[in-house]
């Protein structure tokens, strides 16, 4: 039985894999799809006393946010609502993303979730998450002595 070899078959397989990758990330030809759920960008900084978490939430009012904190993670959800315009005669292009979002951010250390402080200003949520007392001084001494033979 003879099997014909198609040299382009490997390229077709590669193209399908690339297409699947773009489908998974909801990006197509460099354009972002409209139905993608956006997650806000976050920045985490750890000090000896606390974890400082900054989350970008531009265009979202504080009343549209839900922030929940456990000893091990921060959960943020909310909705960026679209303003409805009554003038239907003009067409406006918008690259803003509206709709609901959610994000779960695991923390590198356990915190005292009853003592969290928050500030929401200019579309940035700043959380100060004080560490549990046992986490503050979590230092392990490494013994470098050579065993005697």
Could you tell me which residue, 134 or 2, shows the higher pLDDT? 134
Mapping DSSP to helix (H, G, I), strand (E, B) and coil, where does residue 108 land? coil
User: pLDDT band for position 72 (50/70/90)?
Assistant: very high
Question: Residue 76: its pLDDT value, please?
Answer: 93
Averaged pLDDT of the chain: 79
The residue-averaged pLDDT of 87-95 equals: 66
Entry pTM: 0.62
**Residues 35, 97: contact at Cβ < 8 Å?**
no
DSSP 113: G
The residue-averaged pLDDT of 63-84 equals: 88
Could you tell me which residue, 6 or 133, shows the higher pLDDT? 133
pLDDT in tens, 37-65: 567 899 999 999 999 999 999 888 899 99
Residue 33 has pLDDT above 60, yes or no: no
The residue-averaged pLDDT of 11-32 equals: 60
CA atoms within 13 A on the CB side of 59: 12
How buried is residue 55: exposed, middle or buried, by Cβ count under 10 Å (0-12/13-18/19+)? Answer: buried
pLDDT in tens, 108-134: 999 999 999 999 999 999 999 999 988
DSSP 21: H
CA atoms within 13 A on the CB side of 146: 2
Could you tell me which residue, 26 or 109, shows the higher pLDDT? 109
Question: Residue 3: its pLDDT value, please?
Answer: 64
């Amino acid at each position: 039985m003879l099997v014909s070899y198609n040299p382009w078959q490997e390229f077709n397989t590669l193209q399908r894999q690339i297409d699947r990758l773009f489908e998974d990330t909801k990006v197509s030809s460099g354009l972002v799809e409209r139905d993608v759920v956006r997650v806000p960008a976050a920045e985490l900084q750890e000090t000896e006393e606390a974890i400082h978490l900054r989350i970008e939430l531009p265009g979202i009012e504080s009343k549209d946010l839900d922030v929940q904190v456990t000893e091990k993670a921060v959960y943020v959800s909310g909705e960026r609502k679209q303003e409805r315009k009554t003038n239907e005669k003009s067409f406006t292009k918008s690259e803003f993303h509206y709709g609901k979002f959610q994000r779960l951010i695991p923390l590198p250390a356990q915190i005292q979730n009853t003592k969290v402080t928050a500030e929401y200003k200019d579309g940035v949520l700043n959380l100060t998450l004080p560490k549990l007392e046992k986490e503050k001084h979590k230092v392990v001494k490494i013994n470098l002595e050579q065993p005697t033979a």
